[in-house]
Structures are given as structure tokens and as C-alpha cells.
């Protein structure tokens, strides 16, 4: 099955250490879903400061896992510095949520978590 994350990227970061890869995957599972829920809520409440903090915090994880969400997260970060309405980033957050939901299931399956 094709994964929506890059196992190669994880292997490179972990130096091939499978136990460390599992720890990194578990950390993603523990931290990203609640952070993403907080980001969604911040966007819904037009709390741009909080939205920026969560988007910025998650960006390195998305890059490390090779999720291809850089454009979407950067778009959310840019929105937080603008006067535009939250509808401007609705497509971005929907893509992030869908991708992360899929990756969460894949990581659970692939690492028996």
C-alpha cells in the first residue's frame, strides 16, 4: 500500500533505527491530532495568533514525515498575518485535516501502534 507519508524520510532521520522510528511515529500520533484540532478551532474563531502558533509548530513534523503540506501550512501562516477572512484558508485546512487523518491511520498500521 502506498503511504501518504515518506518512510524514506523517517528512515533517514532515524538512521535506520526502527525503534527510534516507532518513537517518532508515536510522538506524531500523540501531538499532531490535538494540535490540529486546536488549529481548526483557532481558525474557526478567527484567532490568528493562536492559529499561527499551531501551524508553525506542526510544520517541521509535516516536513519530517514528507506529507507535502508545506504550501497549505504556509498559506495558513500567511493568512494569520492578513486581514482576510478564515474562508480564505478553508481549502488549506481541509487538505491538512484529510492528510493527517490518513497518515494517523497509516502510522498506527505500519508501526503497530
**How many domains, the chain?**
1
Print burial letters for 55-94: b (CB count within 10 Å at least 16), e (below 16).
Answer: beebbebbebbbbebeebbebbbebbeeeeebeebeebbe
Q: How far apart are CA 84 and CA 113, in angstroms?
A: 40
Domain holding 64: CATH number?
Answer: 1.20.120
Residue 2 in grid coordinates: 502506498
Note the pLDDT of residue 16: 86
Domain limits for position 59: 7-110
Domain assignment of residue 2, yes or no: no
Domain assignment of residue 1, yes or no: no
Each residue's pLDDT tens digit in the chain (113 positions)?
578 999 999 899 899 899 999 999 999 999 999 999 999 999 999 999 999 999 999 999 999 999 999 999 999 999 999 999 999 999 999 999 999 999 999 999 999 99
Q: What is the pTM of this model?
A: 0.93
Amino acid at each position: 500500500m502506498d503511504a501518504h507519508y515518506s518512510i524514506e524520510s523517517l528512515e533517514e532521520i532515524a538512521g535506520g533505527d526502527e525503534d527510534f522510528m516507532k518513537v517518532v511515529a508515536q510522538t506524531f500520533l500523540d501531538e499532531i491530532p490535538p494540535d490540529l484540532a486546536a488549529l481548526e478551532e483557532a481558525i474557526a474563531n478567527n484567532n490568528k495568533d493562536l492559529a499561527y502558533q499551531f501551524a508553525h509548530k506542526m510544520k517541521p513534523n509535516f516536513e519530517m514525515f514528507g506529507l507535502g503540506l508545506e504550501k497549505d501550512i504556509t498559506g495558513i501562516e500567511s493568512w494569520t498575518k492578513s486581514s482576510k477572512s478564515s474562508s480564505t484558508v478553508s481549502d488549506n485546512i481541509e487538505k491538512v485535516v484529510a492528510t493527517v487523518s490518513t497518515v494517523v491511520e497509516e502510522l498506527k498500521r505500519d508501526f503497530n501502534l
